[in-house]
Structure 1
Amino acid sequence: MISGAHMIIYSTDAEADRAFFRNVLRFPAVDAGEGWFIFALPPAEIAVHPAAEVDSHEVYLMCEDINATIQELKSHDVECTSVTDEGWGLLTH
C-alpha cells in the first residue's frame, strides 16, 4: 500500500522558492545533498481534474484560520488577494 508521496515543483528561481518554503511557511527540510532540499508537509490530499491541455498545476495550502495566516504571510511581504468563499472553502491567492 502507498505510504506517502513526493511532489516536485519546478521553478525558475528555486533558491528563492526554497527560502519561501523554509523561512515563510516554516516547513522543515532535509538537505538531500548538492543544494537539494526536501520539505516535510502536513497531511495532504491529491486530486485529478480533467483538462483539455495540461500547462499548469495548482498547490493549495490549508490552514485553520485564513485571516491569521494572511496576516502572518503579509509580515513576510507576501501579497494575498481578498478572501473568496468558493463553496468548498475560503480561498486567497
Structure 2
Amino acid sequence: MISGAHVIVYSRDAEADRAFIREVLEFPGVDAGGGWLIFKLPPAEVAVHPTDGEPRHEFYLMCDDLDAQLAELAAKGVEIARPVSEQRWGRLAALRLPSGAELPIYQPLHPVAHSL
C-alpha cells in the first residue's frame, strides 16, 4: 500500500532553503542522518495536466486565505516574489526562497482533494 509521497525541491543553496522551511514556514522535520532534513508537509494532492512540451513537475503551497498568509510571512521578512494574481482556479502568488528560487503559493478556488 502506498503510504505517502516524497517531494524533492532542488536548490542552489539547500542549507538556506532548509532553514527557511524549518524556521519561517515552521514545517516539522526529521534528520535522516548527517543533517539531511526531511520535512513533514501539510496534506497534499496531485493533479496531472496535459502538455505538448517536455513533462515537468511543479510544487505549490496551498492556503485558505492568501492575503492573511502573505501578510504573516511578510511580517517574518519573507519577500513576496510575485504579487497576487487572479487565476480561474485560484489566487496565486510566490515567495522568494533564500536561494533566490520562487515557491508558488495559492488559495484554491477549485474543490480540493487533500482532505478526502
2:47 is equivalent to residue 47 of structure 1: yes
Q: How many residues matched?
A: 92
**Structure 1 residue 26, shift from structure 2 partner:** 0.5
Q: Which residue of 2 aligns with 1:73?
A: 73
Choose between structure 1 and 2 for higher RCO, CA contacts under 8 A separated by at least 6 residues: 2
Which runs of no fewer than 5 residues in structure 1 stay unpaired?
Answer: none
Which runs of no fewer than 5 residues in structure 2 stay unpaired?
Answer: 95-116
Indicate the SS of the match to 1:69. Answer: helix
Q: Work out the percentage of aligned pairs sharing the same amino acid.
A: 60
Q: 2: distance between equivalents of 1:71 and 1:59? A: 21
Q: Which residue of 1 aligns with 2:60?
A: 60
Q: 2: distance between equivalents of 1:51 and 1:30? A: 38
RMSD: 1.6
Give the structure-1-normalised TM-score. 0.86
Give the structure-2-normalised TM-score. 0.71
Q: 2: distance between equivalents of 1:41 and 1:20? A: 14
Deviating above 3 A after TM superposition, structure 1's stretches of 4 or more consecutive aligned residues are none
